[in-house]
Structure 1
Amino acid sequence: MSSGATPDPYTDPLAFGQRLQILRTRRGLTRDQLGGLVGRSGSWVKSVETGRLGTPKLEVILRIAEVLRLRDLSDLTGDQSMRVDLFTGPGHPRLPSVKAAVDAFPLTRTREAPPTAHLNARLRGAWQARHSAPNHRDVIGALLPDLIRDAQATVRQANSGAERRAAHAVLAEVYSLTQFFVAYQPDAALLWRVAERGLVAAQESEDPHALGVAAWLAAQAHRDAGHSHFDAADAVNLRTLAFLEPLLPDASDEILAITGALTFEAGYTAARRGETGTAWRYWDQARAMAARLPADYYHPVTSFSHAIMGAHAVTIAVELHQGGESVRQAAAADAVTIPSRPRRARHRIEEARAYQLDGQPDVALATLAQAHEAAPETIKYNGFAKRIVLEEAESKAPARRRRASELAARIGVLAA
């Protein structure tokens, strides 16, 4: 090549350590923070990044990918033959039709808007269908396009300020349901459009419950975007809590539930930061709010209830990397049945994380099988479940390796 030729950017591909440093920096983590989250030291991370240590074993790579919330494992390994979606699913077949409804910008009156009462009844049915269906994404994905279009039309065709505010409250909840569908799908921009539109519609509604739900989902979107977005998650969360707290003395069940859900979310973010005392303090506050609710109450959006607090305790312990405590909480939580199939499957995945953290990989795989039985579409799009299965598929124990491989085929890892 002549000295004036354009250099080939792929002649010297990035080493694993270089990729790790770039991805770590992008997530806003120090070496000590990343090391602590994967069970290593900051000096170990430095040695890997500078090339003094070689590429770690697969189980460590998967833990790093989990902490960095990578969408594709090849971003870290550089091996394009190893393209594995981790925290984004392969894309649901109904995603294009839902996306088309979200992206549409109708200015003409092409459909007659239904009454808000009718839309509310359809929403209640959609939430019930989501909680009861093992293929919940398929079910709500079929309902969402018309719900989105009808809710938008109801806002546009409202005849008074009160009607418009009520219509915005319904539209905000439709976007909340939509966010459940688009989460972990291969379209991050769509997720953020839905979250932001939900916040705008909730603000226009001036309805405290709608504002709380939209903030709850926005805080999750910020937190899932990575460590550098945790402050944004807290800002949305804590400001909304400050807005709702004056309403608590005479609060309805739904206001109490959304306040409790937001309180737990603050603890969840604290746990992701490694702030043990703060995380458990928020969990205690949320449990006290749950205790004020009727025993059979179950919030349709957040799942906040008596039943969910045990599952939340498992999540806090797992995020704090407290292996023994997470298993203890998992044993306690099993005494209560979560009525929602996808939420029950999510809890089983959190339990599996607890068992693997505690050095019980066979129990972790058995628990993931229970998650698959409860709601196959939940485990299919869950990166933590995929990480455990991929790691155990490399186990030195033949029986465990076989079980993990069979589960990988069942949840669709091989098709991702």
Structure 2
Amino acid sequence: MSRSDATPDPYADPIAFGQRMQIRRQSRGISRPVLAGLLGKSPSWVKQVEGGQIQVPKLPTILRIAELLRVRDLSDLTGDEGAHVDLFIGPGHPRLAAVKAAIDAFPLTADRAAPSALHLRHRLDRAWTARHEAPNHRQVVGELLPDLIRDAQLAARQADTAPARRAAQSILSEVYSLSQFFVAYQPDSALLWRVAERSMVAAQDSEDPRAIGIAAWLAAQAHRDSGAFDAADAVTMEALRYLEPLLPDADDGVLSVAGALQFEAGYTAARRAQTGSAWGWWDRAEKTAKKLPADHYDMITSFSQAIMGAHAVTVAVELHQGGESVRQAAKADEKVIKSRPRRARHRIEEARAYQLDGQPDTALATLDKAFEAAPETIQYNGYARRIVLEETEARFPERRRRASELAVKLGLLAA
């Protein structure tokens, strides 16, 4: 066989930026018109970039393309092996190894009795409280999780009646859910999926509707954040079909997780640039929230009447509706969000809104407030990292300085 008849080696020559962009876009199932709309460009501009007819965009545009296509390492898009910047994964937390060891261990024998379900419930509630109240919430939760995981696993193994087993599995599922919050956006995606799957298995064994809904809610997020929108929708819709018959008589806990799932459907629709569907699901979630007491705040999902304003900002931002996202940010009152990390997340969404609306200085000021609320939230948030990196290249010296100072705090630049 002649050399010309051989299958081309895709790695023999460097792949141009435009080709990499096209491969990523097609693998995500995003059309040129949709990507163009989200970037504020024309479809012909996207086609010309992909075809190499026009030069590689500047860094701010590259970063936005990377965000939309969920490119985790910037070098995968640029081809520059010297530009390894992981946009959507934060640093490995010092407690990650200990948490991973506890998750991976399955001892078959034990020389002690498992704690009671009530004891585990109190510890788990304290862990959730710590997650919401501590600015260094990953550190605090990372210290509590290893023993909590081991004891919950032990309780599930030693349960000797059907009701006890179901109760133990419900707690174990929730412990894995807390673990997923800790593991998320850290450099061990296999561990994240292992935790998500174990949470769902334990939830199903528990036959507890709230546990099943929470496990599905977190699994949908994991799928969506990896770019698997169809899988995210499948999990969300199946969970909602399961919960729907229970809602007329549901308590606040089950109602909250149903509302959280409704918003997840809207969030995924917004990521798909499906405007009508996104706002339609937000409306359904808001109606569910209004059925809850005014002061209700779900400890796991944060679902509440108070959170719907923040959710509206997220939908508008994901749809790249700059003006609408700023209007929603002005309406939302982040002070009523009881959780530090959730307040910080809302500040990050506000910052995205301001940047979309052409207010980068306000965006940076808002990210500073997110850092004050919960440093370990913003350090692991890919959107915040992208905005900061982009503004370190700003034309204005004062903005570059502010962005660089924040980049140092986030560990993106050396001091």
- State the 1:332 CA deviation: 0.7
For 1:149 and 1:158, the matched residues in 2 are separated by 14
- In 2, Cα distance between the equivalents of 1:111 and 1:70? 47
Q: Does 1:133 align with 2:116?
A: no
1:336, CA displacement in angstroms? 4.4
2:345 aligned with 1:311: no
Q: Is the 8 A contact 2:204 2:212 kept in 1?
A: yes
Partner in structure 1 of residue 262 of structure 2? 263
Aligned to 1:26: 27
Q: In the TM superposition, what are the counterparts of 1:181-330 in structure 2 within 5 Å?
A: 181-226=182-227, 229-330=228-329
* Seq. identity, %: 70
Cα contact 2:306–2:337 (8 A) shared by 1: yes
In 1, Cα distance between the equivalents of 2:414 and 2:97? 19
Provide the rounded CA distance (Å) in 2 between the counterparts of 1:143 and 1:344.
Answer: 22
What's the CA shift string for 1:107-136, capped at 9, x where partnerless? 222543111111111000000000000110
Cα gap change, 1:244 to 1:11, in 2 (>3 Å): closer
The Cα shift of 1:43 comes to: 2.5
The one-letter code of the counterpart of 1:346 is: R
Q: 2: CA distance between counterparts of 1:46 and 1:307?
A: 43
Distance 2:106 2:302 in 1: 32
Q: Which residue of 2 aligns with 1:84?
A: 85
Unaligned runs of 5+ in 2: none
Q: Is the 8 A contact 2:269 2:275 kept in 1?
A: yes
Aligned length: 410
**Aligned in 2, Cα 1:200/1:373: closer, same or farther, shift over 3 Å?**
same
Q: Is the 8 A contact 1:111 1:153 kept in 2?
A: no
CA offset at residue 72 of structure 1?
1.3
Would you say 1:357 and 2:363 are equivalent positions?
Answer: no
The answer to whether the Cα contact below 8 Å between 1:274 and 1:319 also exists between their aligned partners in 2 is yes
Deviation sequence 1:47-99 (CA, Å, 0-9, x none): 21221112110010000110111221111112222211110012111111111
- Displacement of 1:252 after TM fit? 0.7
> 1:214 & 1:242 partners in 2: Cα distance?
15
Contact between 2:72 and 2:86, CA under 8 Å: does it hold in 1?
Answer: yes
Deviations 1:266-306 (A, max 9, x none): 11111111111111111111111111212221101100012
Deviations 1:10-40 (A, max 9, x none): 6632221222222223323232332222222
Contact residue 307 and residue 336 of structure 1 kept, 8 A: no
Letter matched to residue 60 of structure 2: E
2:383 corresponding residue in structure 1: 384
> Given residue 260 of structure 1, which amino acid in structure 2 is its aligned partner?
G
CA deviation string 1:149-172 (max 9, x = no partner):
111111111101111111100000
Deviates more, 1:43-52 or 1:174-183: 43-52
Corresponding letter in the other structure for 1:353: R
Contact 2:263 2:282 in 1 (8 A): yes
CA distance, structure 1, for counterparts of residue 353 and residue 157 of structure 2: 48
Instruction: Compare 175-184 and 41-50 and name the one that shifted more.
Output: 41-50
Give the CA deviation at 1:9: 7.8
1:84-103 paired onto structure 2 within 5 Å: 84-103=85-104
Identify the range of structure 1 (141-150 vs 103-112) with the bigger mean alpha-carbon deviation: 103-112
Cα distance between partner residues in 1 of 2:28 and 2:78: 17
Moved more, 22-31 or 212-221: 22-31
Q: Hey, what's the Cα distance between the residues in 2 that align with 1:68 and 1:120?
A: 40
* 1:116 correspondence with 2:127: no
Match of 2:346 in 1: 347
CA distance in 2, matches of 1:170, 1:372: 32
Give CA-to-partner distance per residue, 1:316-364, whole Å, 9 cap, x none: 1101111111101101103642110000000000000000001110100
**Distance (whole Å) between structure 1 residues aligned to residue 414 and residue 150 of structure 2:** 32
Q: Which amino acid is 1:233 matched to?
A: A
Aligned partners of 2:34 and 2:273 also within 8 Å: no
For residues 46 and 15 of structure 1, the distance between their equivalents in structure 2, rounded to whole angstroms, comes to: 14
- Quick one: distance in 2 between partners of 1:19 and 1:335? 39
TM-score (norm 2): 0.95
Distance 2:150 2:373 in 1: 31
Q: Distance in 1 between matches of 2:333 and 2:296?
A: 18
Name the aligned partner's letter for residue 192 of structure 1. W
Distance, in Å, in 2 between the alignment partners of 1:43 and 1:135 is 46
Question: 2: CA distance between counterparts of 1:65 and 1:384?
Answer: 10
Summarize deviations over 1:143-191 as a string: whole Å, max 9, x none: 1111111111111111011111111000000010000001100111111
SS at match of 1:81: coil
**Structure 1 residue ranges without an equivalent (≥5):** none
C-alpha distance in 1, partners of 2:174/2:164? 16
Aligned to 2:73: 72
- C-alpha change, 1:110 and 1:42, in structure 2 (3 Å) is farther
TM-score (norm 1): 0.95
Q: 1:205 to 1:266 in 2, by over 3 A?
A: same
The alignment's C-alpha RMSD in Å is 1.8
Q: Hey, what's the Cα distance between the residues in 1 that align with 2:179 and 2:369?
A: 26
Equivalent residue number for residue 40 of structure 1:
41
Which residue is equivalent to 1:374? Answer: 373
2-side partners of 1:371 and 1:201: how far apart? 34
